[in-house]
Amino acid sequence: MKKRGIFLIVSLLLGIMAGLLVYQQIRSYKLKIARAERELVSVVVAARPKDAFSIITAEDVKVVRMPRSSIPTGEVLSLDEVVGKASMLALSEGDPVLKGKLSLDPEKLGVAFQLPDGRVAIALPIDEVIAAGGLLRPGDYVDVFHVYREKDAVSPTSRLLLSRVKVLALGGVLTRKEEKEGTKEKEMLARSAVVEVSPEEAAVAAWAQSLGSVWLALRPANEETLTPAVVYKGPEVSPEPQKAAAQSAPPKPAAKRSVRAVPQGWKIEMIQPGNVSTVTVSPDGRSR
């Protein structure tokens, strides 16, 4: 019995020691995993190949965990900081999208980087009145109206040409600067508005400019519905009544035709050699 009890006690102690060793191994493994996790950072990588000088969309990138030691300090960007920016280098699938590979301000690269696929930019000539009182800013949305005069029309016709068109840039605008040392801020009024349209809409806008003038109506910031088509031909104007023709002076009475008195006859003086005689001829042709 004693031997059996000692055997049980030894077995129990060995089991406890084995359990402690296993626990220690598991704990050490978990600590290593935790330590490794602390050394990993979330990095935005390319989800598919991307050409250089192209705008990055949400479908172009994804987030993965990578060792901190493999990423240069200060180069890690969040997903929001990457989407919408321009890639300055070609990216392969899985390449980290780091700060040094992006232009953080695509507007500095030109309007072309702000255009989605299938869209084009066209400039519309404007002035302070046509461009909503000079209050337009890049990023605003406008409705474009076409004003022209139809043949033989009394007044011009105004027609909605394009609805909810995005303003990409304003030509001739100087950036507003804060007043410094008493210097007043200055701003030049834009002479053209560059808007984003489809190729078909660009053709329509170019045609409209050749026939008349275009006017821009500023839309509410959060308005996404399109403006219904509208045509205005001006108030109904009846033709001006023609001025009554000046009454001509009453016709002058016809001059009385003088009626020659019927002659009682004609006297014909006949001169013959050595003889002069006078013959009277009556109206009936008889001589007397």
Within a domain: 237: no
Q: Assess whether 49 and 61 both reside in one domain.
A: yes
Q: Assess whether 50 and 128 both reside in one domain.
A: no
Retrieve residue 92's tokens.
Answer: 């392969």
Which pLDDT belongs to residue 281? 45
Q: Assess whether 32 and 89 both reside in one domain.
A: no
Which pLDDT belongs to residue 105? 64
Within a domain: 192: yes
What is the per-residue burial (b if ≥16 Cβ within 10 Å, else e) of 82-112? bbebbbeeebeeeebbbeebbeeebeeeeee
Of 85, 111, 137, which one is at a domain's C-terminal end? Answer: 111
> For 222-260, what is each residue's pLDDT tens digit?
888 888 877 777 665 555 555 544 455 565 665 555 444
Within a domain: 45: yes
Distance of CA 125 to the CA centre of its chain: 11
Q: Assess whether 123 and 207 both reside in one domain.
A: yes
In this structure, are strands 275-281 and 141-148 parallel, antiparallel, or unpaired?
unpaired
Q: How far apart are CA 161 and CA 207, in angstroms?
A: 11
> For 24-67, what is each residue's pLDDT tens digit?
888 877 777 666 666 788 889 999 998 887 888 899 999 998 88
Q: Assess whether 105 and 131 both reside in one domain.
A: no
In this structure, are strands 86-87 and 102-103 parallel, antiparallel, or unpaired?
antiparallel
CATH at 96: 3.90.1210.10
Q: Assess whether 102 and 68 both reside in one domain.
A: yes
Which pLDDT belongs to residue 62? 93
Q: Which residues of the chain have pLDDT under 70?
A: 1-3, 33-38, 104-109, 128-134, 172-190, 234-288
Retrieve residue 60's tokens.
Answer: 């172009």
Within a domain: 68: yes
Q: Assess whether 64 and 155 both reside in one domain.
A: no
Which pLDDT belongs to residue 18? 82
- On whether the CB atoms of residues 146 and 214 are closer than 8 A, the answer is yes
Query: pLDDT > 90: what percent of the chain?
Result: 14
> Residue 81 sits in which domain range?
41-111
Within a domain: 11: yes
Retrieve residue 250's tokens.
Answer: 């009453």
Q: How far apart are CA 199 and CA 105, in angstroms?
A: 26
Q: Assess whether 49 and 84 both reside in one domain.
A: yes
Q: Bridge-partner residues for 148, per DSSP?
A: 157
Give the 3-state secondary structure of residue 270: strand
Which pLDDT belongs to residue 284? 45
Within a domain: 49: yes
Within a domain: 276: no
Retrieve residue 272's tokens.
Answer: 């013959």
Give the 3-state secondary structure of residue 242: coil
Residues in the chain: 288
Which pLDDT belongs to residue 181? 44
The candidate with the shortest Cα–Cα distance to 61, out of 45, 77, 75, 76, is 45
Q: Cα-Cα-Cα-Cα dihedral of 30, 35, 39, 41, to 10°?
A: 40
CB-count exposure of residue 144 (10 Å: 0-12, 13-18, 19+): buried
Q: Assess whether 102 and 52 both reside in one domain.
A: yes
Q: How far apart are CA 230 and CA 146, in angstroms?
A: 11
DSSP code per residue over 136-203:
--TT-EEEEEEEE--TT-SS-EEEEEEEEEEEEEEETPPPP---BTTBPP--PPPSEEEEEE-HHHHH
Q: How far apart are CA 132 and CA 206, in angstroms?
A: 20
Q: Assess whether 193 and 96 both reside in one domain.
A: no
Which pLDDT belongs to residue 222? 82
Within a domain: 125: yes
CB-count exposure of residue 124 (10 Å: 0-12, 13-18, 19+): buried
Which pLDDT belongs to residue 234? 67
Q: Assess whether 104 and 122 both reside in one domain.
A: no
Which pLDDT belongs to residue 175? 38
Q: Assess whether 128 and 163 both reside in one domain.
A: yes
Q: How many domains does the chain have?
A: 3
